[in-house]
Structure 1
Amino acid sequence: MKRDVVIVGAGHAGVSLAFALRNLGFAGSIALLSDEADLPYHRPPLSKAFMTAGDDTESERRLLLESAEFYAEKGIELRLGSPVETIEPTSHSLVLQSGERLEYSHLVLATGARARRLPLPGAELQGVETLRTLEDARRIRQRLATSPRVVVVGGGFIGLELAATAATLGKQVTVLETASRIMERSVAPRVSEYVAQRHASKGIRIETGCRVSAFRGDGGQVCAVLGESGEWPADLVIVGAGAQPNSELAEAAGIACGNGILVDSQMRTSAPDVFAIGDCAAHENPYAGNARIRLESIQNANDQARVVAQVIHGDASARYHAVPWFWSDQGEVKLQMAGLGTDRTDCVVRGEPASGRFSVFHYRGDELIGVDSINQPLDHIMSRKLLTAGLSPDKATVANVSVELKSLLG
């Protein structure tokens, strides 16, 4: 039987799309395909609360986006353990690995991304892990229980969140980062400095400018990380070296790709009636100077899902133009980011970093392009509103904490 909408991928993007369609009153058939055996779940807790929770069914139940009954009540055909083998755009159909063929009126690729593995000697050893899925998290949690020495390769969000979690569990934690500072591609230098200091105060050792060359094992189990500048003993190694898009299905089907599946402002791909959303979608973003980028965040997944739901439901005017925003909880540090500050020319600090509550405003010339906030949720909310409105407050005004950001909205 032909489905009106087939969604490949049951992460945040795919599930949000199915729910958004139903919330709009879409009455057509929806098939939601997942290659995982688990019900769709929240991913952010995997690096934090899930790691410290007891190894029981309750900790996993709390992760669920919804119960199995909820999907049935909404008329969403959720098919777990159903990986797709091929897509055939010309016939508006796809084939599952089981051999079953499904026809569609609209196909949405929400295939996400996977953790990047390092092609280094010893990468196959037991105890060298990456975190992306619930199954990964189960394995890491189990190993953490018996691993006194943890080495995290990569000083990005996932790596630092796991480092903070391991430290709270009393582990000896070392973070190895190739760049000159942690989170170099994502936040201002002042933010990197502050977060590094906070982690160091919790006993986490951070080595920057450190290039890992291999993993050494003993009896098939990792026992050390080797680098150009030293060697670090390890019972558990967690590699947080970024992610790469799951675009192989689209590529094999002849759909245009380039560091992700290429889409327009309605999230349409080069194939008729085929869309892509979430971590796998490469789109032109106005907050990145219209450069084609991928955004790996729940906010982005949800926003793009809403756009596609509107388009499928008949709104030809729907476009994706949301301000990007992100967050990362690292122990006592709540880091929130709005906009994209990668091509900043100037930074302005609002508040006192020593207090543990401050924000850094990124400017390109006199244009506000992004804001990083540490334990300042109100600053974050106001910053998103400023960016959405296209407002660029004077730098001196922003730095003056006696001026409420709300007053700058006009």
Structure 2
Amino acid sequence: MVDKTQVIIIGSGPAGLTAARYLGELDVQYVLISKESRPGENKVCGGFVPQAALERFELGSFPRSHEIYGARLRFPGYEPRDVWFEEAVGVNARREDLGTVLEKKADLSKGILRLGARVTSVECGQDGCSVKYMLNDNTHQVESDLVIDASGSHPVSCKKDGVRSYLSDTETGYGFQYQVRYGTDEWEFPRLNYFYFGSGYSPRGYAWIYPRATDAAVGTGGLLNILRERNTALPGHLDRLLNEETPDQDYTGYLTVVKREGALVPLAGIVTPSYGQRLLLAGDAAGHCSPISGEGIYYAMTAGNLAAETVKECYEDNDFTKQKLKSYEKRWQKAFGSDLKWGRRIQRRFMGTSSGESSSKFLESEDVLRKVAEMLLGLKSVRSAIIGCLPAYIKSRLAFWQ
């Protein structure tokens, strides 16, 4: 038996579930297929949800979310410095908790969730789409007018004659992460997200600590080609970071590693095309991820929203052509394309050496530090942060050559 629907969504991350939410609100029927039995349960992610996402998508509060009020930044040649804000800049959450919230936002009266299912083929032609998947050892097939592929950094629709080829090693990052749990009530991380740059913490990338109420995500990473060249043992970077940031310089008395995990991350900046014949890519599948920090929750949710709006217009105009779907790419580029473009330029400039070891003295400025924190926490666009830091950067370079 072949099921039929209007739209097939592949993936239950922020992009897929947000697309489902808005398709339901726009009265469009959908089937969402995901390999995860519980959305977000196996996603490797720091889990920072910026204030912009909380407000725009009306997420409210959810279990075990942990408000964050700033950033702790460390650059080569500098001690760690804290930047605090008066109000919360966002929350850190376990991805399964975020997934539960996003799933509840979806209108299931208009859609069906097929969780714990593995997509085996995606075919989109002039007259429609067909997706086959395995669920409980049985093969199923569903047909639709359109597909939204939000299946991750290696989108399933691109395995064979897809919209585009997979990203290269110079455009893809790898993040390795500990999930750690507090072992004592006597100490905890401050309500800051940690961003540590330098070869001692990451091979041309950065290391992070995202604290939560009872645990934390601690990770490091970099571009895949660099990691393969150096064959770096990433756990050593994390052990060093944790020892530095816990009392007695020994984290084992305060934290227990409960899980080790890793994943690929798109760090290519703007990736096109993000649409094809009756097909849209969203979230990591479309490269919607910050080339600087690897964060992408807000971008993914925005893309899911815009994909749903584009689909609705296709039905209103009875037009499912590539030319019509092209408007989706224009929308997301207008919404956050500047962040991806300028983020990629910063990545090449400051992470092209030993993770920013060549940083100049302009980072001494507290004003510059605050602008960098605002950028990393999603409070300001990448371009506005660059413009704000430019005078101090030029001044430092002129001083260097004098």
Query: Could you say which TM-score interval applies, normalised by the shorter chain?
Result: 0.3 to 0.5
TM-score (norm 2): 0.47
Highest RCO, 1 vs 2 (Cα 8 Å, sep ≥ 6): 2
Normalized per residue, the structure richer in helix is: 2
TM-score (norm 1): 0.47
